[in-house]
Structure 1
Amino acid sequence: MVNKQTLNGEWTITSLGEREVSVTGMVPGMVHEALLQHDIIPDPFYQDQEQAQRWVGETDWRYERTFVVGETLLAHDCVLLRCHGLDTIATISINGREIGTTENMYRTYEFDVREVLHAGDNSISITFAAPMVYSRQQEAEHGVMPTWSVGDHRVDAGSYIRKEPSNFGWDWGPQLVTSGIWRDIELLAFNTGRIQDVQILQEHHDGTVDLTLVLQVERFHELPQRAEVRLKQGDETSFSLMIPIPEDGKATSTVHIAKPHLWWVNGMGEQPLYDLTITLKSVDDKPLDVVEKRIGLRTLRLDRHADEWGESFQFTCNGIPFFAKGANWIPGDVYVARMTREDYALPLRAAQEANMNMVRVWGGGIYESDDFYDLCDELGLAVWQDFMFACGTYPTTQEDFMANVRAEAEDNVRRLRHHASLALWCGNNELEMGLIAPHWTEHTMSWDDYGKLFDVLLAEVTAELSPETDYWPSSPHSPCGDRSDHINEDCGDGHLWAVWHGKQPFEWYRTMNSRFVSEFGFQSFPEPRTTNEFTKPEDRNLTSYVMEYHQRSPIGNATILHYMLDWFQMPTSFEMMSWLSQYLQAIGMKYAVEHWRRNMP
């Protein structure tokens, strides 16, 4: 069986800049978390203390630790270092020998380390280049790539580095540019062979399901191998079979399930899930590797058919259309590494209890953790999954960039495609809106340059690796008429922000009959207990420096006040203003939601 040795746990983190810092920190984790734990930096959320931490993103950092390797692990045919998430530009060394570099926080990297390890104590170091310095170097060499619509205090630095865009600031969050080992890191040792990939395809007809498994095995010897496949739901075994592995390592097998328990989105039925286990075995029946996945039997598609107005845009589950009710999902913590399953569960369960049935993973954050998608599977929340490109131009004419992005897309499509909740792949957030803006020119990114990534590359990857989930190039996007008409009510999806950004009255929502509204909204202040956590008493007024500093939308507080005075008298206290802003927000959302639900087909 595969031998796994985690390298998670306590590491030493050292600055390589002018400031001399050396602390311990936990992995998975980020530099900021360790500095906070040791009181090197103050709480970034309190008043304006975020500003005192900009130096962290301007500094190179080194993670180091020692670990013990036994003779048993070294006796395996293949020993790999697998890094599930390094943020971002990193150089990795073991026992003083460089073994590789990384340049994408979204990718899983593997390195053959069998020849650099020895029995006993070993050392590993991972050096992270300062993301701000790296980004400026790229801009100096290749030119500035414009961004837009991302709020106050954001730096235009993220186009050249495959790193969480909102880490550089957004109109809803702080600028806390960090580095670190943000997901698991481990040693893996294999004998004879290992499972490289498992693709699961479903064909539904007449209440039955044909389940096709496509396995890719890496063989280290020419010895015969086979895969044992089991599918169970609870204590009930649906099937068990053996699949011989051919010389090229690729094996395909189809199984008929006569009485499947179908998975449904929230509100349409239950969410039964099956446990699929694939065990690679040697000729003498010894287990070599195992892959476990939890799947749901269902179809979940985007239905686009011509109608009297243009083209429909509706999702179907098991062939039945459903009205999408949901919300956009941004990263749940500015330090994404510290999100736990419980942290994800609270808002996702609240969404389910609010009768939502869909969440959109917004393209300015991260491809979420397995916990997130597992919970969506359990709760019946369909997932609209953006690729991580948002509100900016990208260097799609650079071959290295495109190869890096292709590897990123393949990694994440393979990781997520089996989830019952996965409803849609979407290329980006709001790039097509930017294409028609004056700051985007042929010199920064043309429509042809845009199409290389979002019309071709990502479409190819999803069609090959995830053919049962539809691909949509951008949000918003309209396939009718001129592509620059990105809010066309006759087809496609729309981002409707004329209320918040344009100060249209709430009644404006009732004039909009979009086929699918993937973004809209209106701000409120947090409740007073939350505000009290990041302010002093003297900060608690609408126009204070601290309240304006925390409001990253350049029009934010003034816009809330504008609508409040339209609807109510001026509150007599800041606490009352906070509560009233939430009531105001509810009124605005009520206008929109009730109108679109009345238009439900």
Structure 2
Amino acid sequence: MQRQTLNGPWELQQAGQDQRFEATVPGCVHTDLLAAGAIDEPFYRDNELRLLWIGEADWVYRRSFEVDAALLEHEAVRLRCHGLDTLATVRLNGDVIGRTENMYRTWEFDVKSHLQPGENHIEIQFDSALNYVHQREQAEKVLPAWGVGHHKLNGGGWIRKQPSNFGWDWGPMLLTCGIWRDIELIAFDTARLNDVLILQDHHTPGQVGLSVQVGVEQLDAAASLNAVSIVRFDGEVVAEASAPVSDGTSEIALTIADPKLWWPNGLGEQPLYEVEVRLIDAADTQLDSQSKNIGLRTLKLDRHPDEWGESFQFVVNGVPFFAKGANWIPADTFVTRLTPVDYRRLLVDAVAANMNMLRVWGGGIYEADAFYDVCDELGICVWQDFMFACATYPAFDSDYMANVKAEAEDNVRRIRHHPSLALWCGNNELEQGLVGDEWTDKTMSWDDYSRLYDDLLADVATTLDPQTDYWPSSPHTPVGDRRDFNNPDSGDAHLWSVWHGREPFEWYRTCDHRFNSEFGFQSFPEPATTATYTEPKDRNITSFVMEHHQRSGIGNSTIIHYMLDWFRLPTSFDNTLWLSQILQGMGIKYAVEHWRRAMPRGMGTLYWQINDCWQVASWSSLDYFGRWKALHYMARHFYAPLLLSAVEDLDQGTVAIHLTNDHLQAQSGQINWKLIDLNGAIVRDGSIDATIDAQKSQLIETLDLSTQLAEHGPRNLLLWLGLEQDGSVVASNLVTFVRPKHLELPDPQIAARVEDDEDGISVWLEVQHPALWTWVTLPGVDARYSDNFVHLLPGQPVEIMLSNLPNDLTPAEIQQRIEVHSLVDTYA
């Protein structure tokens, strides 16, 4: 096998125009125009509105390249395009060699007869996806979709292109095109590998059996071929076997002794085994090879009848576990800008928040290999949607269905070996109101829906990846009427009655669903991020630019509605941004703590969403630059393996103390609690010895505080809880008995002391009076903090470690520049 990359410098031209620009492949038209200085920064202020024309135009990429005569001596020479976005006509030396209509597929064209030794010319024209879908709508029908008009362009259902490229309620309408993944020439003789499926057998104790099923494309049907599989762990060969190729297939059986099992984050290690497959001819010449990293594990979706209905829980290596995580969207509007470093940074931050699962949402892309590789390394399980979201699709069109089938086959084959892969899911939210008895101006028919999601995708997933479960939609109710899409007794749920229905945060405590795969609340990015897309005159949340970077039609009004319900009116633009983050974190904390207390009835929470694709007000916990919002810091605690939480009953004057344990071992410790007034004086305190079994949640004790609440008043008291193990507080929580806006908090008199020792630079925080939601910033520095938005009490100093600091920044300079704020600073 010989390969020649065609990545690198290309030339870009708008069809019908003379001007040409330097371009880079992989890439897209927007990033190339931006690099050439031909357009302004698309994310700045409202520049997006002046760049919509790019998506309405046709674009041409071209380059010249040299081909050695030796490459053309191979029996087969192919042009392999790993991603063309989307409607492409490919010409080689003036000849049309292929057309494409799906950005998610890998396209391959036979080009041997079109190439020549020496210089060759390739040209790829991309037709406007927007013009195409409008033509389909005019010629055939408008496909119903949600959100069209306010934040989304029409017609995305007609084309196999990233749905959120047309706009979403958190993303811009910047319709890309281009060679978005690698492009290369491949040349080979006799045969090549075209499929490798690795199945695992865990039935025999002390070993794991592997069945390596190999697909071969043979140019010479009479050739005698063998497939060899070599398994390595830590560089050492632990198994090797071979089998002959017959009728284009081979199956190799291997046994791994003393297997090291792969576990999700928090449950164990993530050892990876390399499985290499070689294709050998009769002369023992290697014709081709592939290598895949796998983890030895079983990972299944367990659904069985139980006392509440039907379970919905993931089980790894026979152990059920509570899924803790979030939904993942494309991490940049221009996904070609994302590097392995970007993926690792975001996924490391997911692990830092104690997450063990991410849902790759169906309105984006099947992610890059680097994403899944890092998930494998870090133990982040992946719920993988197929790319269908919040719209209807022409399942009545046979060409469309064939295109989707090829797309699904490509991506199932590419992703299936990853140990992080937990589930295939057909679509996002179609069953939540976009399907009816027949096609209307609001729905697609159940028959066509079923043809695509119950039949086609289910068949591809279960045939090509028989060891990973398939789920037709999210949300979905598998028992009874599937139109009852958020049934609490079975299936998964998207619970949006707080954000979209303005139910109070307390509403979450009325929900006892089996698996909560979407729920969320918005916040603004912090001032440093907001400054990157605004001018000073824009810095009011009702300005045109700020509202342009708020794609939810109800967004700002909803944030303010809840903000004024819980907090005092903030005194400045910056304080509004920070307070929105505290509000967001508090709301999601309220939900997650309740659902973790409900374990094992409920066995998962994936909040919407972990990341952003541009600078925007959104539901994310990490903003576009990866800066942690308050929610992400709070997630470190409410997703921690040991969760100490409380349920207050204001009518009875009681507080129920709960302990939740995700560890695979029983845990014990001492729960210390103290009821304090707003000056920090202890009104009452106590300690409770607590022991909890592995993977359990239980009520530890109910405190009767009615006497103290009656005497001091609920507006004047706070309850602090701390779980202590081996002299260290490993979990804590704070209970207020009224909305924080009604607390008459004094100036906490925060003292910040910067220290530098062998562990690094840290800041110690101490207070004279309670300080709620205290956060540290270092203006002008993108520092990382080990914790933030913490509650401070007198006599309980808190250390926050600082990292990602400039090498020339001294502790003394940090002491001068550091800023510390708490809740009272947002209104005082």
Q: Where on the TM-score scale, by shorter chain, does this alignment land: which range?
A: over 0.9
Paired residues of 2:241 and 2:253 also in contact (CA < 8 A): no
Amino acid in structure 1 at the alignment position of 2:64: T
1:553 aligns with 2:552: yes
Query: Can you list the C-alpha shifts for 1:273-311, whole angstroms capped at 9, x where unaligned?
Result: 011111111211111111111111101100000112210
Greater RCO (Cα-Cα under 8 Å, separation 6 or more):
1
Equivalent residues in 2 for 1:107-506 (5 A)?
Answer: 107-149=105-147, 152-205=150-203, 206-221=205-220, 222-246=222-246, 248-435=247-434, 441=440, 445-506=444-505
Query: Is the partner of 1:42 in helix, strand or coil?
Result: coil
Paired residues of 1:266 and 1:355 also in contact (CA < 8 A): yes
Paired residues of 1:497 and 1:521 also in contact (CA < 8 A): yes
Query: Is the partner of 2:113 in helix, strand or coil?
Result: coil
Amino acid in structure 2 at the alignment position of 1:181: I
Cα distance in structure 2, aligned partners of 1:151 and 1:211: 51
1:90 aligns with 2:80: no
Query: Is the partner of 1:215 in helix, strand or coil?
Result: strand
Paired residues of 1:146 and 1:439 also in contact (CA < 8 A): no
In the TM superposition, what is the alpha-carbon distance from 1:226 to its structure 2 partner?
Answer: 1.2
Paired residues of 2:436 and 2:446 also in contact (CA < 8 A): no
Query: Can you list the C-alpha shifts for 1:128-157, whole angstroms capped at 9, x where unaligned?
Result: 111111110111111100111478331122
Amino acid in structure 2 at the alignment position of 1:471: Y
Cα distance in structure 2, aligned partners of 1:150 and 1:511: 32
Cα distance in structure 1, aligned partners of 2:166 and 2:23: 23
Query: Is the partner of 2:288 in helix, strand or coil?
Result: strand
In the TM superposition, what is the alpha-carbon distance from 1:443 to its structure 2 partner?
Answer: 8.4
Query: Is the partner of 2:491 in helix, strand or coil?
Result: coil
Query: Can you list the C-alpha shifts for 1:90-139, whole angstroms capped at 9, x where unaligned?
Result: 01010001111100000001101011111000000001111111110111
Cα distance in structure 1, aligned partners of 2:442 and 2:385: 26
Amino acid in structure 1 at the alignment position of 2:279: L
Cα distance in structure 2, aligned partners of 1:253 and 1:228: 8
Query: Can you list the C-alpha shifts for 1:547-601, whole angstroms capped at 9, x where unaligned?
Result: 1111000000111000111111111100010001101111101100110110112
In the TM superposition, what is the alpha-carbon distance from 1:208 to its structure 2 partner?
Answer: 2.0
TM-score, length of structure 2 as denominator length: 0.71
Paired residues of 2:240 and 2:254 also in contact (CA < 8 A): no
Q: What percent identity do the matched residue pairs reach?
A: 59
User: Which residue number in structure 2 is paired with residue 543 of structure 1?
Assistant: 542
Equivalent residues in 2 for 1:512-531 (5 A)?
Answer: 512-531=511-530
Amino acid in structure 2 at the alignment position of 1:492: G
Amino acid in structure 2 at the alignment position of 1:241: A
In the TM superposition, what is the alpha-carbon distance from 1:20 to its structure 2 partner?
Answer: 4.7
- When you count strand as a share of all residues, which structure comes out higher? 2
Cα distance in structure 1, aligned partners of 2:523 and 2:551: 13
Cα distance in structure 2, aligned partners of 1:488 and 1:91: 47
RMSD of the TM alignment (CA)? 1.4
Q: 1:576 to 1:557 in 2, by over 3 A?
A: same
Query: Is the partner of 2:64 in helix, strand or coil?
Result: strand
Which segments of 5 or more consecutive residues in structure 1 lack a partner in the other structure? none
Cα distance in structure 1, aligned partners of 2:149 and 2:474: 19
Q: 1:304 to 1:149 in 2, by over 3 A?
A: farther
Paired residues of 1:166 and 1:364 also in contact (CA < 8 A): yes
Paired residues of 2:229 and 2:252 also in contact (CA < 8 A): no
User: Which residue number in structure 1 is paired with residue 25 of structure 2?
Assistant: 27
Instruction: Pick which of 263-272 and 199-208 moved more.
Output: 199-208
Larger Rg: 2
Instruction: Pick which of 81-90 and 141-150 moved more.
Output: 141-150
Amino acid in structure 2 at the alignment position of 1:496: L
Paired residues of 1:151 and 1:170 also in contact (CA < 8 A): no
Paired residues of 2:239 and 2:255 also in contact (CA < 8 A): no
Query: Is the partner of 1:159 in helix, strand or coil?
Result: helix
Which segments of 5 or more consecutive residues in structure 2 lack a partner in the other structure? 601-828
Paired residues of 1:148 and 1:434 also in contact (CA < 8 A): no
User: Which residue number in structure 2 is paired with residue 101 of structure 1?
Assistant: 99
Q: 1:278 to 1:48 in 2, by over 3 A?
A: same
Cα distance in structure 1, aligned partners of 2:62 and 2:124: 7
Paired residues of 2:423 and 2:468 also in contact (CA < 8 A): yes
Cα distance in structure 1, aligned partners of 2:20 and 2:4: 26
Amino acid in structure 2 at the alignment position of 1:56: I
Amino acid in structure 2 at the alignment position of 1:12: E
Paired residues of 1:477 and 1:487 also in contact (CA < 8 A): yes
Amino acid in structure 1 at the alignment position of 2:131: V
In the TM superposition, what is the alpha-carbon distance from 1:440 to its structure 2 partner?
Answer: 6.6
Cα distance in structure 2, aligned partners of 1:485 and 1:88: 36
In the TM superposition, what is the alpha-carbon distance from 1:255 to its structure 2 partner?
Answer: 1.4
Cα distance in structure 1, aligned partners of 2:370 and 2:270: 16
In the TM superposition, what is the alpha-carbon distance from 1:441 to its structure 2 partner?
Answer: 2.5
Paired residues of 1:435 and 1:447 also in contact (CA < 8 A): no
In the TM superposition, what is the alpha-carbon distance from 1:28 to its structure 2 partner?
Answer: 0.2
Cα distance in structure 2, aligned partners of 1:180 and 1:485: 41
Instruction: Pick which of 178-187 and 145-154 moved more.
Output: 145-154
Equivalent residues in 2 for 1:51-62 (5 A)?
Answer: 51-62=49-60
Aligned residue-pair number: 598
Query: Can you list the C-alpha shifts for 1:192-245, whole angstroms capped at 9, x where unaligned?
Result: 110010111111122421100111111122221112211001132111222221
1:39 aligns with 2:37: yes
